[in-house]
Structure 1
Amino acid sequence: MSDDEPQDFFAPPAFKPDLALIQLKRALRELRQLSERGNGFTLQGLSVIELSIDATQLTARLARRPARSPEWDSKTCKSSADVRALQDEIKKRLARWTDDKNE
């Protein structure tokens, strides 16, 4: 790095979707209600989360409600903050899905 180049000491590290996927799957496995199946997770045998990555982002498809053929909402994560927001959204939906099953 030359002295002429500006240094940005506060720039976040580059987003690595492959590492984010590993960390997200680990966090989701800790939620005991979900079961990992391939590149996704199920709730009581019904597919509720599908995860995929490419070179720059992590993409999640979240079921609006558990069903054999669910309607999906898509979320794209391009930073660690997006992944944390996705985890929060999954926890909210999981609470709603399990409350709906108990009624």
Structure 2
Amino acid sequence: MSDDNFFALPAFKPAEALVQLKRQLRDLKLTERGHRYELDGQAVVEVMADDSAIEARVVKRPARTPEWTVQRLGASTEVRRFLDTLKTQLARWRSDE
């Protein structure tokens, strides 16, 4: 009996991952405004989920009219990598103030 899926990762559930991602964004001291998160009154992150993935938009740098980069997160590892990158960016933005 061959069980090829023995070590398979569990299926990615975007709705559940979005709840956890939002909690982690609040833990980073970002202000939540619906699906948008702000740093010092300026939008820096937007997150939304569909049936297969989370769409995350991050500003290149905080500004009144920001330039956004879009990422599609379709696995837990991508969500963790997104958060790690965002933490680095937030630290840099906060130190620039």
Give SS of 1:96's match.
helix
Deviation at 1:7, TM superposition (A): 4.1
Deviation at 1:75, TM superposition (A): 1.2
Indicate the residue corresponding to 2:15 in structure 1: 18
Q: Please say which structure displays the higher CA radius of gyration.
A: 1
Q: Distance in 1 between matches of 2:36 and 2:84?
A: 17
Q: TM-score, normalised by structure 2?
A: 0.93
Unaligned runs of 5+ in 2: none
Indicate the residue corresponding to 2:93 in structure 1: 97
Q: Pick from 73, 82, 92 the counterpart of residue 86 of structure 1.
A: 82
Give the letter for the 1:76 counterpart: R
Q: Distance in 2 between matches of 1:75 and 1:97?
A: 20
Q: TM-score, normalised by structure 1?
A: 0.88
Unaligned runs of 5+ in 1: none
Identity rate of aligned residues, in percent?
Answer: 46
Alignment of 1:67-86 (within 5 A): 67-86=63-82
**Cα root mean square deviation, aligned:** 1.3
Q: Distance in 2 between matches of 1:85 and 1:93?
A: 12
Q: After TM superposition, what 4+ stretches of structure 1 lie above 2 angstroms from structure 2?
A: none
Q: What do the CA deviations read for 1:27-83 (whole angstroms, capped 9, x no partner)?
A: 111112x11111010000000001111100001000011111100111111100000
